[in-house]
Amino acid sequence: MPIETIFDTMEYGTAPEDRSIALQWIANHGGLIGPYVNGAFAPARDDLTIRNPATGEKLAGMTLCTKDEVTEAVQSARAAQPDWQKAGGPARARVLYALARLMQKHARLLAVTESLDNGKPIRESRDIDIPLAIRHFYHHAGHAQLMPSALSDRVALGVCGQIIPWNFPLLMLAWKIAPALAMGNTVVLKPAEYTPMTAMIFADICSQAGVPPGVVNIVTGDGSTGAALVDASVDKIAFTGSTSVGRQIQEATAGSGKSLTLELGGKSPYIVFDDADIDSAVEGLVDAIWFNQGQVCCAGSRLLIHEAIADDFHNRLKARMDKLRIGDPLDKSIDVGAIVDPIQLQQIQALVQANTAGQTYHAQTPVPEGCFYPPTLITGLHPADTLMQEEIFGPVLVSTTFRTPAEAVEIANNSKYGLAATLWTENINLALEIAPKLVAGVVWVNATNLFDAAAGFGGTRESGFGREGGWEGLQAYSKPRQPLPEPAQVTPFTGQGAAADDIDRTAKLFIGGKQARPDGGYSQAIFGPKGQLLGHAPIANRKDIRNAVQAQLACGWGKTTGHLRAQILYYLAENLAAQTSRFAERLDAMTGLTTGAEEVRAAVDVLFTYAAWADKFEGRAKSVPMRAVALAMREPVGAIAALCSDQHPLLGLVTPMAAALSTGNSITLCASAPFPLVATDFSHILEASDVPAGVVNILTGPQADLAPHLGAHMGLETVWCLSGAELTQEVQARASSNIKRVWQGAAQDDHDSWLDAGTEIKTIWIPYGE
Ligand code: NAI
Ligand code: MG
């Protein structure tokens, strides 16, 4: 367009980015891409076609890796892992640093290729995806360097299988590979079938950076290749993608001993209070839902707007939508690019067409033919409408109104997801009151989509578990140096002798702060080592679990202060200590050992320890490279159930309880089945120690009958399987019902691991400056 015309019309001209270097890179590789294994590209095949979604043109052919090819890659990673770990943190830091430098040198090639392959505007790939990916490698070069001093009690997991989606191809690769390598793991990564190109350039860069062969392996392919990687002999699976595939992976890895992190979908609320800076909130929303065509797991896709400003806000938003420019992703003046693939486009169209509620507004802006979808706003929806609940994964915003902050929180949290949330208000007090109440792993205050390698990212509920970035992200790629021994299984004693006590002592369950008879009405005789009858323990069932979890969800313990929790834990210690001889006798009678008194003292000490931690297990303020603070707040994971170990009937009950309570969680303890009577005795200590109703519940009976119900329970966020691999598998097989965290415990004195298992980091971003 000539300059005079532009002066006349004041229209944008085009500013196309040169694509020739990216196409040349592909041509140099014979137009075919395939697996990168053991430091070299294997011969590639034309099994799948990689396209530019903006034009439909073929970019390259790609190998669909078979199970055997995946196995080969895993073997190469396995062979390389010991040396990579032994090389030490500083040596790994040099390699990660070299990767960051080389990515920087090839930044434009990476950005152009990303936009060609994915359809995202070059403005985004150039200014956001690629710089953030590079920053991740720099940041983690530092973590590798510091590992020997700062994380001396942790070691690598081994070989990590990593499966990533197509929405941020290189950035997700960086999030996965950088921390894994820093901690001494080797990796096999599978990029998404729509967007493998930048992973291939990254492979090339690995060779140039001196990454030892086998440390980074990349297998290309689709879901079948991903499934093969999940089944392969890896030590960990890290997955980012849809909740449905995450669920399949959780089921497939159940009982395998593989560690797992899942970063899944979301339907993140974007809350605008009536005192917000409206124009900024509109601009933030453009970024929240039209960044990357809305194909963002943490997209602010659910607008909750204060009723008083709703009309004004919607009008300004529509005016802004009409100004968004959709078109060629390689044009530097384009706001919204192409949808990644025609299949995704059809899904978006189908979801919007099926909706009959509210009013639908499409941006009045020219939309090119092909894989493009206009920015869309649907107003007047009710919180329960399908489009308020289901992830659309496209440029479609849904909107509803609220009247009070409490109602905003209620609507925001009315979701199966819990990934991110945004809130806008000029009142910092309101912001800091609301942020902790939102069920989300990340909260942005007066901003949105802020990311950094130093700040953790990840979800709760069906958005998954585990964090990426920062110190917390390293947990997912390392484990305690001391391996945890498999707990011994104890066979209950049998007998038929007469009762040892003169007066029958009735042992009951402890649910909602009260002694409760078991719902089923069954009890089981408990015998000592000489066959003497020690008493009867109730047999809990599914309904007792239900009642216990209901009491947990209503108990409000998570809102108490660390100081109060410490006071109650100390009080428990005091009351238990006062009964030392009684508990010691009970333990000795049940086990036939003489270590009872020692165990009671150890349990009192555990209560003191976690009382001490209750107001000291702190969060951090992250140092992020922008005018913002990112607060890493430790939040309780929520309702926990524990299958307690048989090994030390009292200590095995008190340790998970104390650790859970210390960090603000409620817990249902399924006591050791052979030795339940010390647990039913412990109910009296709970009653005497001001523990609020529902915070601790105690169930007895065969754990094998309870485990499947714990695994399937929708109200439990976490199950601690402390009594062996067999029951862990029972729980894990059902944990995908609500994407539960399943944890197998840590050494008795590894307090950090116990406390970590009870908390999850919420990152609250607060920008500053006018
Ligand atoms: P997807 O979850 O199927 O794909 C993500 C990755 O998993 C890809 O690399 C894929 O090859 C792999 N995969 C697929 N099936 C697998 C299996 N059974 N085992 C192991 N790996 C497997 O996502 P898809 O089909 O590309 O997109 C469908 C929907 O998922 C989207 O419309 C969106 O709602 C959601 N999604 C969410 C993402 C997020 O970041 N939260 C990212 C991508 C998609
Ligand atoms: Mg593509």
Using pLDDT thresholds of 50, 70 and 90, give the confidence band for residue 616: very high
pLDDT recorded at residue 503: 63
Task: List, chain by chain if needed, residues with CB within 6 Å of any ligand 1 atom.
Answer: 163-167, 190, 192-193, 222-223, 226-227, 230, 240-242, 245, 248-249, 264-265, 297, 344, 347, 391, 393
Distance 379 CA to ligand 2 centre (A): 32
pLDDT digits (tens, 9 = 90+) for 80-100: 999 999 999 999 999 999 999
Which letter, b or e, does each residue of 611-633 get, where b requires 16 or more Cβ atoms within 10 Å of its Cβ? Answer: bebbeebebbebebeeebbbbbb
pLDDT recorded at residue 3: 77
Which residue among the candidates 17, 124, 263, 760 is catalytic per the annotation?
263
Q: Which ligand is nearest to the CA of 57?
A: 2
Q: Which ligand is nearest to the CA of 115?
A: 2
DSSP 3-state of 153: coil
pLDDT recorded at residue 72: 98
Q: Which ligand is nearest to the CA of 56?
A: 2
Kindly state the average pLDDT of the residues 236-245. 98
Least confident residue range of 484-493, 526-535, 537-546, 617-626: 484-493
Which letter, b or e, does each residue of 159-184 get, where b requires 16 or more Cβ atoms within 10 Å of its Cβ? Answer: bbbbbbbbbbbbbbbbbbbbbbbbbb
- Model confidence at 481: pLDDT above 80: yes
Q: Give the residue whose CA is nearest to atom 30 of ligand 1.
A: 242
Top-confidence residue, 504 or 764: 764
Question: What predicted TM-score, i.e. pTM, was given to this entire model?
Answer: 0.97
Q: Which of 193, 242, 461 to mutate to test the pocket of ligand 1 (most atoms within 8 A of CB)?
A: 242
- Model confidence at 280: pLDDT above 80: yes
- Residue type, position 118, single letter: N
Supply the DSSP symbol for 129.
I
* 8 Å CB contact between 215 and 36: no
Atom of ligand 1 nearest to the CA of 344: 32
Distance 363 CA to ligand 1 centre (A): 28
Q: Which ligand is nearest to the CA of 239?
A: 1
Q: Give the residue whose CA is nearest to atom 19 of ligand 1.
A: 227
Distance 629 CA to ligand 2 centre (A): 36
Which residue pairs from 521-525 have beta carbons closer than 8 angstroms and sit at least 24 positions apart in sequence? 524/701, 524/702
pLDDT digits (tens, 9 = 90+) for 243-258: 999 999 999 999 999 9
pLDDT recorded at residue 409: 98
- Model confidence at 464: pLDDT above 80: yes
Kindly state the average pLDDT of the residues 667-684. 97
pLDDT recorded at residue 501: 60
Distance 339 CA to ligand 2 centre (A): 10
Atom of ligand 1 nearest to the CA of 166: 43
Atom of ligand 1 nearest to the CA of 244: 2
Distance 176 CA to ligand 2 centre (A): 20
**Distance between CA atoms of residues 370 and 527, nearest Å:** 75
pLDDT recorded at residue 74: 99
pLDDT recorded at residue 504: 67
pLDDT digits (tens, 9 = 90+) for 376-387: 999 999 999 999
Kindly state the average pLDDT of the residues 686-692. 97
Using pLDDT thresholds of 50, 70 and 90, give the confidence band for residue 737: very high
* 8 Å CB contact between 722 and 645: yes
Distance 165 CA to ligand 1 centre (A): 6
Q: Give the residue whose CA is nearest to atom 38 of ligand 1.
A: 241
Supply the DSSP symbol for 436.
G
Distance 620 CA to ligand 2 centre (A): 39
Q: Give the residue whose CA is nearest to atom 10 of ligand 1.
A: 223
Kindly state the average pLDDT of the residues 705-732. 97
Supply the DSSP symbol for 504.
P
Which residue among the candidates 297, 371, 670, 721 is catalytic per the annotation?
297
Question: What is the average pLDDT value for the chain, to the nearest integer?
Answer: 96
Q: Give the residue whose CA is nearest to atom 27 of ligand 1.
A: 242
Q: Which of 64, 118, 120, 163 to mutate to test the pocket of ligand 1 (most atoms within 8 A of CB)?
A: 163
Kindly state the average pLDDT of the residues 236-242. 98
pLDDT recorded at residue 8: 84
Q: Give the residue whose CA is nearest to atom 34 of ligand 1.
A: 393
Contacts of residue 505, Cβ cutoff 8 Å, sequence gap at least 6: 535
Q: Which ligand is nearest to the CA of 343?
A: 1
Distance 126 CA to ligand 1 centre (A): 24
Kindly state the average pLDDT of the residues 290-312. 98
Tokens of 524: 């089981």
Atom of ligand 1 nearest to the CA of 165: 5
Atom of ligand 1 nearest to the CA of 463: 41
Contacts of residue 273, Cβ cutoff 8 Å, sequence gap at least 6: 306, 405, 408, 423, 424, 425, 427, 430
Distance 505 CA to ligand 2 centre (A): 70
Give the number of other Cβ atoms within 10 Å of residue 524's Cβ. 16
Supply the DSSP symbol for 126.
I
pLDDT recorded at residue 62: 98
pLDDT digits (tens, 9 = 90+) for 410-453: 999 999 999 999 999 999 999 999 999 999 999 999 999 999 99
Atom of ligand 1 nearest to the CA of 252: 19
Distance 190 CA to ligand 2 centre (A): 15
Atom of ligand 1 nearest to the CA of 249: 19
Using pLDDT thresholds of 50, 70 and 90, give the confidence band for residue 4: confident
- Model confidence at 203: pLDDT above 80: yes
- Model confidence at 755: pLDDT above 90: yes
Kindly state the average pLDDT of the residues 265-286. 98
- Model confidence at 770: pLDDT above 80: no
Does 721 participate in catalysis according to the annotation? no
Q: Give the residue whose CA is nearest to atom 9 of ligand 1.
A: 192
Q: For residue 594, is it left (φ>0), alpha (ψ between -120 and 50) or beta?
A: alpha
Q: What percent of the chain has pLDDT over 90?
A: 95
Q: Which of 245, 292, 371, 396 to mutate to test the pocket of ligand 1 (most atoms within 8 A of CB)?
A: 245
Using pLDDT thresholds of 50, 70 and 90, give the confidence band for residue 137: very high
pLDDT recorded at residue 470: 97
Q: For residue 33, list its beta bridge partners.
A: 62
Q: Which ligand is nearest to the CA of 344?
A: 1
Q: Give the residue whose CA is nearest to atom 8 of ligand 1.
A: 192
Does 263 participate in catalysis according to the annotation? yes
- Model confidence at 530: pLDDT above 80: yes
Q: Give the residue whose CA is nearest to atom 12 of ligand 1.
A: 223
Atom of ligand 1 nearest to the CA of 172: 40
pLDDT recorded at residue 500: 60
